[in-house]
Amino acid sequence: MAENTVIESALRRSPAEHLAGLMADAEVAGDRAVALREVAFGTQLGVRAIPGSAAHAALAQATGVGLPAAVGEVAGSVDGTAVLWLGPDEFLVATDAQNDLQAQLDAALGDQPGQVLDLSANRAVLELSGPAATLVLRKSCPADLHPRAFGVNQAIVTSLANIPVLLWRTGEESWRILPRISFTEHTVLWLVDAMTEFASEQVG
């Protein structure tokens, strides 16, 4: 069993692994710096429970950070476990670590109405950071990204480069972009192209 696990780990490939060099080469330094990288092999769990129910309360406690109550809210933070609001009874539990969180949530839910589902292979996780990161996103994201409307540790479902993404502001100058796996390459290529202008001196 241990040998099989080692083999599986050696063969495992992340959605944007083949684009790592392209992302590294696209990094811009200086006053208008911006960088793009993949955050690979984290844990993403889809959780569903009706607010006010015993299942909701049990799952909220089991996450260690609670469950968000409204659109845009995130419980916890990017440094540990975070829970993103997707709908009134739907949430995404995310952590960069691989751990036994699903087992803990399954145990907390028990036979109560609700759901805990491993979605780790459903979305890629891309991180865009730097002073120009928000300007890059504004080129093709219809959401209001101004800090007054979109604060740190908020997340929404929106679109980027004409595809649906989960967009999470993890810092003043850092964002996480979660497209479906099949749209990973499209998203990376679009972001790399959008970053290009910031390598040149600003005109005007």
Q: How high is the mean pLDDT in each 10-residue block of the chain (204 residues)?
A: 52 93 98 97 97 98 98 97 98 94 97 97 98 98 97 98 97 98 98 96 72
CATH number for position 128:
3.30.1360.120
Of 95, 119, 143, the position where a domain reaches its end is: 119
Mark whether 109 and 152 lie in a shared domain. no
Mark whether 28 and 54 lie in a shared domain. no
Total tally of structural domains belonging to the chain: 2
What pLDDT score does 10 carry? Answer: 63
Q: What is the pTM of this model?
A: 0.93
Mark whether 192 and 130 lie in a shared domain. yes
What pLDDT score does 203 carry? Answer: 67
Range(s) of the domain holding residue 155: 15-41+121-204
Could you tell me if 104 and 118 are in contact, meaning their C-beta atoms sit under 8 angstroms apart?
A: no
Q: Give the DSSP letter of residue 68.
A: -
What pLDDT score does 140 carry? Answer: 95
Task: State residue 98 phi and psi, 5-degree precision.
Answer: -105, 115
